[in-house]
Amino acid sequence: MSKSKLEYIWLDGYFPTQNMRSKTKVVNDFSGKLEDCPMWSFDGSSTRQAEGGSSDCLLKPVAIFPDPARTNGFLVMTEVLNADGTPHVSNGRATIDDDDNDFWFGFEQEYFIMDTQTQLPLGFPIGGYPAPQGMYYCSVGGKNTHGRDLVEEHADLCIAAGINFEGINQEVASGQWEFQLFAKGAKKAGDEIWVARYLLDRLTEQYGYYIEYHPKPLGKDMDWNGSGMHANFSNTTLRTCGDKATYEKICEAFRPVVKEHIAVYGEFNDQRLTGDHETQSINEFSFGISDRGASIRIPIATVESGWKGWLEDRRPASNGDPYKIAGRIVKTVKSAKI
């Protein structure tokens, strides 16, 4: 008889920024298949998801990955359900209308690596600042590059877990990095971002670091780029239409629902979306070809492919929930009725 460790991962009820929680279930002779992951429960009163007098919440397995850091281990992403089996109010995944996986998403997850002792990003001296941004982006060498060991190990873990991991690079501020994921299906994209974040956060326990997902951790008035999670997206129409007018109609569908998007694009995003540092103002909406200062960028590759490709919403913050972000984008694109 063999034993396997199943790490059940879920999102808690903190608002507006949810946190990951996890616990381990040891099972006998596990097949490694999602359908053989049992339902489980947890104390919702400890995660702001239930009252103490009726505290049980359910964990419904929705995705499974091998855990590269554990022998006979698996990472099980779950949805939170109420005791009666209905989706909990904190369950953003259940709101995504993409059961046919027509929507493809590529998320660009930016983040800062923080030193637990100094509470500062890597490369920041105590009581001062490093050299201004400019030399950190895609840099090489110990003068400007900080945290590569962690980042490389995280990439290896994600790839070993079967996550569709597409790349890494240092970003424009000291100690700031990015990884990119791509998935066919809005729910799958959210699953993979959350599990990749889980692997990154767990890995920092070995380094004396922690990950800061706040979109502007250095303060809103500091002359440093914030952290985003740009959402690249397409559906069959965007991938095949070959028509500029169709692209413009879909972009225009986002204009009247700016507030609805910003509401789920991450806490403190007003500190990042100022109109500076490659952002559009949170109070404005724009789209443009190859325009990194627009709300939605039309990639030049899409245009050069004869208006067949994807769009990039540059507004989501690094701490946003990819489930809620994807769900809102899917709803808006479908509202264009093309």
- Return the domain boundaries, the chain: 3-91, 104-335
Strands 296-298 and 104-115: unpaired
- The tens digit of pLDDT for each residue in 138-194 reads 999 999 999 999 999 999 999 999 999 999 999 999 999 999 999 999 999 999 999
Residues 265, 268: Cα–Cα separation, whole Å: 9
Secondary structure of residue 327 in the 3-state scheme? helix
Q: Is 312 exposed, middle or buried (0-12, 13-18, 19+ CB in 10 A)?
A: buried
Q: Which helix (H) or strand (E) holds 311?
A: strand 311-313
What span, in angstroms and rounded, lies between the C-alpha atoms of 49 and 57?
8
DSSP string, 150-183: HHHHHHHHHHHTT--EEEEEE-SSTTEEEEEEEE
Tell me what pLDDT residue 277 has: 67
User: How many C-beta atoms lie closer than 10 Å to residue 272's C-beta?
Assistant: 23
Read off the pLDDT of residues 271-310 as tens digits, 9 standing for 90 and up.
999 988 678 999 999 999 999 999 999 999 999 999 999 9
- What would the CATH number be for the domain defined by 3-91? 3.10.20.70
Rounded CA-CA distance 97/186 in Å is: 9
Fold for 104-335, please state it: Creatine Kinase; Chain A, domain 2 (3.30.590)
Task: Give the separation between CA 63 and CA 8, rounded to whole angstroms.
Answer: 10
pTM exceeding 0.95 = yes
The residues with which 233 forms a beta bridge, in sequence order, are 105, 311
User: What's the average pLDDT block by block, 10 residues per block, for the chain (338 residues)?
Assistant: 95 97 98 98 97 92 98 98 97 97 98 97 92 94 97 98 98 96 98 98 97 91 87 98 98 97 97 86 94 95 98 98 98 94
Q: Which of 64, 59, 110, 125 is nearest to 88 (CA)?
A: 59
